[in-house]
Chain A
Amino acid sequence: MATTGDEFTLDTAAELAAEEGSAGKEIQGRSPWALAWRRLRRNYVALGSLGVFILVVVACLLAPVYVSHVSGIPPNEVRLGDSVTKNGQKIPVISNGSTKIVNGVPVVVPGGIPIGAQWGATGGAYILGADEEGRDVTTRLLYGGRNSLYIGVTSAAITTVVAVVLALLAGYFGGGTDWVISRFFDLIWAFPVILLGIALGTALSVNGFHHFGINLSGSSLWITIGVVAFVFIPYIGRPLRGQILALRQREFVEAATAQGAGPIRIMFTEVLPNIASTVLVLFTLIIAACILTEVGLSFLGAGVQPPNPSWGTMIEEGQSQLATAPQISLYAGLAIAVTVLAINIFGDGLRDALDPRAKVRIEH
């Protein structure tokens, strides 16, 4: 099902290339995908958002390069006693406590406050300041982004695959299969999402998961991925099931059955292509939801486990030092907002492009 997404881009890219005469492939009429691509291509806001998202992904992937060439500070290394040189002066990363005389009375200035944003004055280190353990916020932001994006995209892919398969089974076979799968959806639906995530995440992060030949340590990202993927299954499965139930009654399914096609073949070659555009849009939008859920879980301590950074754990770590070191929380939140917004805008554009009934759109 994830391959459907790949096929979409590959096919249309090939057709586009053919259209422009740069590749040898023939133009075979205008498929719905090609039409959708033409609409999407004119939606500059959506394409720009895709660009922003790709930029964020590339920046996060280059995190090790950033460490080795710019900041020189690994993401999880505690550097409490460290200091930086700024304008020829040595400044401790975590401020020392001191006393100063105000109106003849000694006043204690508490220490332990991490330095704020340096904006390049220290030659690359601590561009966005330090956190409470003297770690570089920029570096952690990039590494945290790797974790947050990885969890968001992977769990969205898993949710989509599982939900599509379940919806196909329920919609195609109906009857008892449909009943069991629908009740399963109802059950997850009845759980408050964040509470189910918390319960699973907390229990699993103690000793990890060691069943069915799968061995995961308590700090494994896959636990968070599994939890986030699990709670979103009905959000994709339910709408798809309804669509498949309607498709099941259509003549082309009957025709395929008459030709002797088996259930698997009908599900994957007859029904699936007809819901592919819905799946693609839901997948895009669920990435945004998954990233936000990971952030929420990590913020509450039931997601990515410290010292491993994620955008959610960074917000949590900075919460208690909001007044003195706002850089720890606020930039991480900004990164989430920009990334999720980019995905949402692109997903919206994708839906407008794929839905022929698309009404008034943002662009023009």
Chain B
Amino acid sequence: MGAFIVRRLFGMILVLAAVSLIVYLIFIVIPGGNPALRIAGKTATPGNIKAIELKLGLNHHGFFGFLWQWWDMMKALFTGSLVSYYDGTNVVQQIKEGIPVTFSLAIGAGVIWMGFGILVGTVSAVKAGQVSDRVITALALIGISLPVAWLGLLFRYFLAGEKGWPAIFPDGGYVPLTTDPVQWAYHMLLPWFTLAILFIGFYGRVLRSNILDTINEDFVRTAKAKGLTSQRILRKHVLRASLIPIVTLFGLDFAAVLGGGAIITEVVYSLPGVGFYAARSISQQDLPPLMGVTLFGAMFIVVFTLLVDIAYAYLDPRIRLS
């Protein structure tokens, strides 16, 4: 177990280094990617460009120069001194400011999609083949087919006063939890559901098919033969076994949402989170923030992948880590 974790941690560092190298490559090597050219503008002289390259630390050329520049950027990122090409703001500082917003969004949405997903999946599996199952399955399919941006705009249009109807919910914006917990939750409700609806449908469907698989297992027949009530069989035997894949799925999806998966929701509701910061940097083609946010997201994904593997081995004794 210890050796497994050490090996995986080492692998994680390699993956993160590779991710950052690729992002760097995308922005520097691809034609038009040299940020100095863009910042210098259309009427720049070669001298101007040289000066900007020097200022941004982009004056190294060739393969080793490229690696050197990348190393410089990584060093700046991890010592917290990396600044935006565009407005000189500190990248780590900006990401830190976005973290409470993104975490509020991800945690709230995660609780909602897990709760509703389990409810929906269990009900439709228990009622398999009946009308309620078919309705739930249909709703779940609709849920996974809706574009997030549109769903957010629909909520804003009909529920947040854009149509001219009385506003039931505030139209975007963020109130910190520490300032006013009630207003915080009130402002986050629409974003939470916007983000969660996609996952509710997906989790419900996965859980439903897991439960239908588990019901045919020998241990369930044994439990039935022992004379346990169906309530107890469902809760203690079927659901427990069926939830294992859901837990792992949740770990991965939650990490993806923390690491930038909520970007569209944040843009639609103008929530100043990490994803919003990335979206703002796109229009300015500002490499350092995108690098910072991508690594931030990739870090969550690799860490949660490891946690999920460990949790999986813990929950399912048949699996041995190697």
Contacts and interface: CB of A to CB of B under 8 A. Distances in A.
A348 B208 CA distance: 14
B147 A296 contact: yes
- Chain A interface main SS type: helix
Interface in A286-345: 288, 292, 295-296, 299-302, 311-312, 315-316, 318-319, 322-323, 326, 329-330, 332-334, 336-337, 340-341, 344-345
A192 B294 contact: yes
Interface string A185-205: 011011111111011101110
Given A206-B32, A323-B163, A199 B128 contact: no
B141 A337 contact: no
Interface in B271-298: 278-279, 282-283, 285, 290, 293-294, 297-298
Nearest to A361: B129
B226 to A, nearest CB: 25
Given A192-B259, A319-B268, A333-B154, A186 B26 contact: no
Interface stretch (B15-23, B80-88, B229-237): B15-23
B153 A207 contact: no
Given A194-B263, A203-B27, A207-B31, A344 B145 contact: yes
Interface in A347-364: 348, 359-360, 362, 364
A302 B268 CA distance: 16
A194 B27 CA distance: 16
B301 A323 contact: no
B149 A296 contact: yes
Interface string B5-28: 000000000011011001100110
A199 B150 contact: no
Interface string B122-145: 000000110001100110011011
B149 A315 contact: yes
B146 interface: yes
A30 interface: no
B301 A359 contact: no
Nearest to B264: A296
B98 interface: no
Identify the interface centre among B33, B137, B264, B282: most chain A CB within 10 Å of its CB.
B282
Interface residues on A, range: 35 or more
A323 B294 contact: no
A362 B129 CA distance: 7
Contacts, number: 165
B133 A199 contact: no
B153 A190 contact: no
A312 B147 CA distance: 9
A53 to B, nearest CB: 12
Interface centre among A191, A299, A301, A332 (most CB of B within 10 A): A191
A360 B133 contact: yes
Nearest to A204: B30
A208 interface: yes
A100 interface: no
B261 A192 contact: yes
B261 to A, nearest CB: 6
Contacts of B144: 344
A210 interface: yes
B187 interface: no
25 contacts: A190-B19, A191-B19, A192-B256, A192-B259, A192-B261, A192-B298, A194-B263, A194-B264, A195-B293, A199-B26, A206-B33, A209-B30, A218-B32, A292-B147, A295-B147, A296-B147, A299-B149, A322-B162, A330-B150, A333-B147, A337-B150, A340-B146, A359-B128, A359-B212, A362-B138
Interface of B: 15-16, 18-19, 22-23, 26-27, 30-33, 38, 128-129, 133-134, 137-138, 141-142, 144-151, 153-154, 156-157, 162-164, 209, 212-213, 256, 259-261, 263-264, 267-268, 278-279, 282-283, 285, 290, 293-294, 297-298, 301-302, 305
Q: Closest 9 A-B residue pairs measured CB to CB?
A: A333-B150, A207-B32, A192-B297, A341-B145, A206-B32, A192-B260, A340-B145, A195-B260, A323-B162
Given A187-B19, A322-B153, A330-B153, 14 more contacts: A190-B15, A192-B261, A195-B260, A203-B26, A208-B32, A209-B30, A209-B31, A299-B264, A319-B149, A319-B268, A322-B162, A323-B162, A329-B153, A333-B151
